[in-house]
Amino acid sequence: MKRKNYSPHTLRNYLNRLKHFLVWLSVPLETARPGDVKYYIDFLLEKRLSAQSINGHLFVIRSFYDYLRDEEGLVLDNPVIRGMALRVASPLPRHLRDNDVVTLFASITKSRDMAMFMLMLRCGLRVEEVANLTLGAIDYRRHQIMVRDGKGGKDRVVYISNDAADALAAYLRIRPETNEQKIFLVEKGTYKGRPISIRGIQKRIEYYSKKSGIPASCHQLRHTMATQLLNADIALATIQALLGHTKIKTTMRYCKLSNLKAQRDYFKAVSVVMEKCEVNVTMALEC
C-alpha cells in the first residue's frame, strides 16, 4: 500500500478492517474458506453495516490474501471469491436547493466556519482538503488554490470565487498569529491553536445543520457546487477537473441532478419539433 502511495488514513482504515476479520476468524488464516467469509458477511450484517461497508471489508481481506500469495509466497486459496460482494444501491448525489443554501449559511456565525464551508460550496473542496489547506496554497492574485495531495494523492488547481475569497480573508484577519501553516485552527479548549481535524469540521456542519433545520453535510456542499455549475451550462470535463474526479463517469452522475439544464434542453428541443410540425401541418392544409 505504501508503494501505491496510499494515505496514512487509508492505511489505518485497511489495517483496522483486517484486524476485525482476524480476531473474528476461528480457524487458522491459511485454512479459511469461502464459507468462513460468508459467515463473516452474516456477522457484519447483524452489526447493521451497510452493503458498501461490507464490500470494503471484503476488498481488504481479498487484497491481504493476494499479498500473502504474491509477496510472501504462501500457497493458499483466496477465500473471497467472485460473486460474494453485496449489491449496492446507487443513490444520486444529494445536493442542497438554493433556498436551503441561503438558510444554512445564514446560521453560520463564526468567520472560520463560514470560510471553511464557502470553500466547499464554491471551490468543491473535500473536507480533508479543507482540513489540510495551507497558507501557501492560496494565490489571491490569480484567484486560485493549489490542492495538494488530494484524494488518490493527486494535486489539482481550483478557482476561488469572490465571496469565498472574502470569507477566507475575513477569517485570516482574525486568525491568531502562529507558525502553524494549516489555515483552519481550533479556537478553544485543550487543542486551541492546533489544526482543526476532519471530524472537528464535520461536527461544525452538524451543528449548523441542526441550528438551521437544513439536513446538510460537508460532501453535500461539494455536490451542490457541481450541480450548480452544471445548471450554469459549464462543460462536464471542466467540472471533472475542478472536483478532481479520475473518471468522467463519476462526474456524469450529476447530470441526473441537473434538472434546470434538462428542463432548458427539453423545451429548446420541443420548440424545434413543434415548429417543424406547424410547418408540416400548414403545408398539408394548403394542399
Residue 210 in grid coordinates: 441542526
In this predicted model, what pLDDT tens digit does every residue of 114-149 receive, in sequence order? 999 999 999 989 999 999 999 999 998 899 999 987
Q: And the C-alpha cell for 273?
A: 419539433
Nearest CA to 122 out of 63, 178, 163 is that of: 163
pLDDT at residue 249 greater than cutoff 80? no
Segment 221-247 mean pLDDT: 83
Cα 197–chain centre separation: 16
More confident call, 207 vs 228: 207
Per-residue model confidence (pLDDT) at position 259: 56
Mean pLDDT of all residues belonging to the chain: 87
pLDDT of 256 above 70: no
Range 6-32 burial, b when 16+ CB lie within 10 A, else e: eeeeeeeebeebeebbeeebeeeeeeb
Grid cell for residue 198: 476532519
- DSSP letter assigned to residue 139: E
Q: Is the pTM of this model over 0.85?
A: no
Higher pLDDT, 13 or 259: 13
**Rounded-to-10 torsion of CA 169, 170, 175, 177:** 60
Residues 244-264 have a mean pLDDT of 70
Please give the pLDDT value at position 90: 60
What three-state secondary structure class fits 103?
helix
Q: Residue 192, CB half-sphere, CA atoms under 13 Å: how many?
A: 7
pLDDT tens digits, residue range 77-115? 999 998 888 887 665 556 788 899 999 999 999 999 999
The answer on pLDDT for 23 being more than 60 is yes
Residue 240 confidence (pLDDT) above 90: no
Can you tell me whether residue 147 is helix, strand or coil? Answer: strand
Assign domain 98-256 to its CATH architecture: Orthogonal Bundle (1.10)
Say what the pLDDT of residue 132 is: 93
Closest CA to 60 of 45, 42, 78, 75: 78
pLDDT tier, 280 (very low <50, low <70, confident <90, very high otherwise): low
Q: Where are the domains of the chain?
A: 8-70, 98-256
pLDDT confidence of residue 279:
54
Cβ contacts of 91 within 8 Å, gap of 6 or more: none
- Cβ of 131: how many Cβ atoms within 10 Å? 21
At residue 80, the pLDDT reads 94
Q: pLDDT for 148-191, tens place per residue?
A: 877 777 888 999 999 999 999 999 999 999 999 999 999 999 99
For the cut 80, the answer to whether the pLDDT of residue 257 exceeds it is no
Q: What burial letters (b/e) apply to 64-103, b meaning 16+ CB within 10 Å?
A: bbeebeeeeeeeeebbbeeebeeeeeeeebebbeeebbee
Sign of CA dihedral 20, 69, 7, 240: negative
Separation CA 38–CA 93 (nearest Å): 31
Q: Does residue 35 register a pLDDT over 80?
A: yes
What CA–CA distance (Å, rounded) separates 128 from 201?
9
Least confident of 83-97, 202-216, 239-253: 83-97
Q: Say what the pLDDT of residue 4 is.
A: 78
Residue 282 has pLDDT above 70, yes or no: no
- Residues 6 or more apart whose Cβ sits within 8 Å of residue 163: 118, 122
- pLDDT score recorded for residue 255: 61
